[in-house]
Structures are given as C-alpha cells and as structure tokens.
Amino acid sequence: MATTKTRPRGDDARDTDGCDLCGLPTPSPPVTDDEVTGEFCCRGCLEITRTLGDAATADPEEVERELAGSDASVPDDAERTYMAVDGMHCATCEAFVSGTARNCEGVYAADASYASDMVRVSYDPETTDLTDLSSTLARYGYGTRDPEEREAAERADNQVARFVIGGGVFGMMVMLWYVLFLYPTYVGFSPVVELGVFDGIYILGNIWVMTSIVLFYTGFPILRGAVVSLHAGQPNMDLLVSLAATSAYVYSTAAVLVGRTHVYFDVSVAIILVVTLGNYYEDRIKRKAAGMLSDLAASRVSEARRRTADGVETVSVDDLAPGDVVEVRPGERVPVDGTIAEGTAAVDEALVTGESVPRTKRPGDEVLGGTVVTDRPLVVEVGDDATSTLDRLVELLWDIQSARSGVQRLADKLATIFVPTVLVLAVVAFGWTLFRGASATAALLVGLTVLIVSCPCALGLSTPLAVASGIKTAASRGIVVASEAVFEAVPDVDVVVFDKTGTLTDGDMSVVRVEGDESALAAAAALEHFSAHPLATAVVEAAKERGLNVPDLPAESVTVHDRGVSGVVEATEGDFGVADGRDSATNGERVVVGHPSLLRDEGITVGKHLDTAIEAAREAGAVPVVVGWDDSVRAVFVVGDEPRDEWDDVVAAVADNGRRDVVVLTGDSERAARRFRDHPDVTDVFAGVPPEAKAETVERLRSRGTVAMVGDGSNDAPALAAADIGIALGTGTDIAEDAADAVLVGRDIDAVPEVFSLSAGVNRRIRGNLTWAFGYNAVAIPLAALGLLNPLFAAVAMGTSSLLVVANSSRSLD
C-alpha cells in the first residue's frame, strides 16, 4: 500500500496570542524585530507593519456583511420577476411606479429603474397576481410587459412615433397660420392675406382646435407625468412644462373669447413638441444604452428537464439542487452553472462572457447558466451553487443601473427643491414685472417664460444615461461593473494593489525548465502521480506535454514522503527513451523525486552543475524539484508560477506616469517577488503575506489615499471588500464574487487599465452633464426673470438643454 503524508506548511507549535496584524496564531517564538512593536506570525506581516505603521483594523463583521450582502425585508421563498415598463421618462415616474407596486398585496419589494425602463418585483406568488399589478400601473398610464416581448416594445415605439408625427403635423399647421396671419400683425405689418371678422374667428378657431390636439393628445404623457408627480409628492419637470403649456393655452383661449388676436397657442405647441421630441430621442438612446439588462433578463431560464429514477421531469430552475442531472437540447440555454456529464457540443457563451466564437465542451468541462447549446444535446450535472451565471449578471447589472452615485444623489436632492423654487421665482418675476408698471399680459409672459426655460430634467438625466452607456461599453470589453462606486471612485484612486499569484502571474505551477537529463522526467512523473501536491501535478503535466511514456507503477512499490516520493521503477526498454547518448532507464532502481534535501538524506549525490541549477532556480523565485537514482541526481525540474506576458505593461499603464502608487502583495518568498520589485513603477512589494493579512494591509494603505485592489476573486475576497474599489479576475463562476466592484470576464489582466480609462471617461461625462445642467439653469432662469427671453425661444432652449445631455451620454466611449 502507498503511504500518504501531508506536507507541512509551517511549525505546528503555536502561541495562544495572535499576530498583531492579521490575528493568526504566532509561532513559538513569534516573529519580532527591535524596530517594530508587536509579535507577528510571519515576516511578511512584520514588514507590512514596518512600512505602513499602525492603522485601524477592518471590522470583520462589516467585511462579512459586504461579502454576504443583505436583503432582510424579502423572505427566502419570495419570487422575483422583471417587468418592462412603458411610459417612465423621469425620476419621479421611477419613484411613483416603485411606490405603487409596493402597495399591491403580497409585494415585498419593488424597485423601478428609469435608466432601464424596468421594474424588479419581489412578491409572494400565493397572494400576488401580477396581472392586477399591471392593471394598477396601467390606470396611471404605465404599460407593463415581459422583457422578451419585442413586438410590444416595437408597438410602444410606434405609439411614441405617432405622438411625435401626429403632434408635428398639427403643430406645423398651427405655425403656418401664425406665419401667414398672426406674426406679421405682431410686428406691425399687414398679414399676408387680409381677413374679415368672420375669417379671423375661423383662423383662430382652427388654431385652437389643432393646439388642443397637440396639447391633450401629443402632450398626454407630460400631463400625466405632472399628475403623477403631485401624487408622488415630487414636483418634476412635467409639472413645470404642463403649467407653462396649459397657462399659455388657457390665457390664449380666454383672449379669443374676448375678441383679442394676440394669443400664445404657438408657445403651447412649441413647448409640447420640443419636450416630446426630446423624450422620444432620450428613450431611444436609453434603450440602446441599457439594452443589455433587458436582453439578459429576457434570456433567463425558468424551467429545466431533470433526470430522475422514473425518467425525465420538467421542474422550475429554483427546484434544482447540487448534483441533479439535467438535459439540455440544441438551441436551449443551460439552466444553471454545472459540469458536463454526457455529450459533446459547441456552446455559445456570447451573452454571458462576450466571447463571440462558440466553444466546444466535453464531459468534465464546466458550463455557465445562460449559455446556449448549439448543435448536439448535453447532459449537465448541477454545480454546488445551483445558480446561473446569467441570473447573477442580471442582478449585478440591475444593481448598478438602478443605483445612485454620490454626485447623482446630490443632483437628485437639488432636483426635488428645484421645481418649487422655480414656481416661486415665476410668481416673484410676475409680481416684480407687474410692480414695475408692465401690463398684466407682459408680466404673465415673464412668469411663463421662467417656467418654460427651467430644465430639471437635465439634472435627473446626467448620471443614469452616462452610467448605462458606460456599463454597456464595459460589457463589450469583458468587464462586468458590479458597483456604482466604480465610475465615481476609480478616477481618484491613489494606490493600486495587485495580488501576485493568479493576477500578475498565470496562477498555474508548471515546469519552466529542465536541467540535466530531460527524459528522467518520465520516471519522476511515474512517482509524482501518487502525490496530490501542486509541484507533483506540474511534473506529471510536463511529462504529458512532452509526450514521454510514463509507466504505471503498483501502489505498494511507492512511498509518499513529506518532501517527495520514492519507489522502485521497473522500466521496460524504450519507456524513457535515450538522452545524451545513454539509456536513461532505471533497470529496477529505487527512484527518489522531490526536495533536494530528501535526496541528500537518501544518499543521492547532487553534482556541482545541478547544485548550481538548484540555487539559480531559488534565486529566480522558482522551486527546484530533483530526481535521482543509482546514487546520483539525474535532473532538476525548475517549477514556477510564470508572470503573465503583459504584466509589466499593465503595471506601467495603471501607474499612469507615477500618478498612482503600485503595490504588489504575495504570500510567496521575497525571492519569488524580486522581479516585481525591480519594475520602475512598483512602489512597494510585500512578500510572505498570508491571505488573512491582505485585508489589513489594504486598510493601512488607505492612509495614502483611495485604494483599488486587483485580485483573482478567491482568497483575495476580504482584501477586495476592504478596498475602496475591488477588481476581480474570474472565469464565469467567479462573476458572483460580491466583494468586487468590477469583474473581468476571463483571466486576462489587459482589461485592468481599461477599467481605469473607461471609468475616467464616464466620470468626465457625468460631471460634464451636471456642469451643463447647473450652468444652463443658472444663466437661463435669471434672463427669463428679467424679461430678456421670448417664451418661444425659451421652449426651444429648454428642450435643447435636455437633448444635449442625452446626446453627450450616448457618445461612444472608445
């Protein structure tokens, strides 16, 4: 029988007192230094304390809460659905739809997202009828539908188009009458066509009818928005626009009835058409920018075919448990993450990972929930989490698109007081103009102009549309944005911390070089096959890659030591081939492979040349694995975790010409980290740091400013949570890492600099939008209050302001 032992990772003797940095037990005696106060578990923790000094320790419960997340108000058995909503066109609509849905029976939580035109509802399926919920919202003019109902979406677009086209036709007819008959008289000229009394009444009557159609048909969504804002207790732009348009309409109607011809139906028409056209364009851009969330939500899988002892049954995806076996037919989506048990097929992962070319998957390969089986059926064993990567993506995208950054929260607060302030200013402007001796008509026009020119909508649009565009661009580059903090905080990052293993390196131990007899690798692999150590795995894989014939050995002839493996290898001729002109077969010799000290203890001599190779490997930060028999070492296998080809360019790009500090954390030895210390843009390298100390290291680095942490999303999770910004590398299943603020789909680090450049671009766009929104209102409203703006010009200016914000947000970030 083979004897198996676990290789020790450190001293077993420990003090009861913990490390002053990470809290782990300390060895006896603990690691100390005369220049540093405290006792530590390792040299790495001591060096971090020496460099960064003392800092407040992260609250473990707070970190745990951040990792786990919470939604205490929603029971575990609640169901969650996404519904597309037609008719939302401002933050007030968002608040009203959310509140109305929450008031329905059995609804635990409801959150509408104006940025994505959707509402997420958590409810009790036993007591809640979603049809009733839809009917309730429909009474207020908000239509709901399933996100995948593309035809309904197109009908909604056509409906808006009819509003625009219908209003445009009647609006142009109104303006034609004004140009031909009214505008000339306003400036002291004769009309193009002289009118009698009856003709004048006829013309004004036509203008009134067509203006009524524009105001109450085309302007219905705006008027509805005004009513909704009053219901919600949040005055919005719709209220201002409605007051301005209806005031001009009512005044003009009264003027016609008393026989006057100086009327302002054109102002009502201009206001309604400009705002409606702006809303239409905004909706189109918004749907393009936020379309990924709708696409993902529409593609979620709700049912699966599960194999049982009695055959195959169709069950809800929520009923699947780890270990269940499900069947997936060609053209269907994999319901949850899992491993292929039977079959080989090309799987399209484009929607989840962004990879455009389908990948061939075979038994044993992992598949992601939400990916599409294209050509042949598969049988999939449900993974440990029994969840779908696609579902997690939907949740992540929803959270970021519906969240509010700090700067947007400020804008939202200002917007809530903006409308009442404008109303007060309009009244004051009316009273002041009247007090100065102007006519009531002139004073009324000044007040109307103040209402018309103000634009709170630009404030509300500044962040959501820019963020939605940024999310879509990031996804196209293989970056999943999981927190709204990314776009706000990343441009201000002062320190970027890289985990070494699996981030700056490829994370896989491999034989990078063989010194001596390369064919001896076969004998070493035959023995290392019985060990589960990563170094042993690297030796076995190297033999396979080189196509060597590795003999099968009986277990009773092999002994696994704490520093290696030994055993008798009965080689047949040609098993190992010929190297350096001599047969490398062992001829039944006892072979030893492992740490150099093990071979020395076994009496096997290490030659001077190979001894030099061993030291060179250690100096390079690699691990030497030695194999020998017949009293001599035959080869040294240099095993290491190789740096990624692009690591130095990525570090240089992130450092941004010295603007940011770059820190490398690793649990490996100082020698293994030496090559990173030599990089000119690396500020500090902390080696020998246990995973438990990484979070505390990040906390102490925050004394230098805002900290971003880049890790592989596994044992780096506490550090990712402790950092201001966490960026995780991951394959599909790693996307669920709640500690990270951004996840790079795949394992390439080329996208890390793109996170910084993309976030900076979105941040500049948000600030540009807000600057324009505030600047426009700061200039336009005083001009209107002073009577320096014409109502018609004010309507065009107000609409243009919102359109500029929308157009700026929709620009490409490339």
SS3 for 478?
A: coil
Q: Are 376 and 331 in contact (CB under 8 A)?
A: no
Contact call for residues 546 and 518 (beta carbons, < 8 A)? yes
CA distances from 168 to 213, 339, 374, 721 (A): 11, 57, 47, 53
End-to-end CA distance of the chain: give it in Å, rounded: 63
Token readout for 693 is: 């100390």
Closest CA to 708 of 565, 495, 543, 429: 495
Instruction: Give the tokens for residue 71.
Output: 């939604």
**Mapping DSSP to helix (H, G, I), strand (E, B) and coil, where does residue 627 land?**
strand
- Number of Cβ atoms within 10 Å of the Cβ of 435: 9
Nearest Cα neighbor of 637 from 510, 508, 501 is 510
- Structure-token match 């002139």, residue found: 442
Spatial contact of 524 and 584, defined as CB atoms under 8 Å apart? no
User: Which strands make up the sheet holding 742-745, listed edge to edge?
Assistant: 479-481, 742-745, 725-730, 707-711, 495-499, 661-665, 684-686
Residue with tokens 């990792």: 67
DSSP 41: S
Cα pseudo-dihedral 525, 531, 533, 539, rounded to 10? 0
**Pair 82, 147: CB distance under 8 Å:** yes
Q: How many CB atoms lie within 10 A of CB 206?
A: 13
Q: What letter does residue 87 receive in the DSSP assignment?
A: S
Read off φ and ψ for residue 746, nearest 5 degrees.
95, -170
In the chain, the amino acid numbered 522 is A
Q: Where are the alpha helices (DSSP H) in 567-665?
A: 596-601, 608-619, 647-655
Sign of CA dihedral 486, 490, 491, 492: positive
Active site residues: 499
- Angle CA 780–783–785, to nearest 5: 110
| Backbone phi and psi for residue 370, each to the nearest 5 degrees, phi listed first | 105, -15
Would you report the helix, strand and coil content of the chain in percent, each value rounded to 5?
Answer: 50, 20, 30
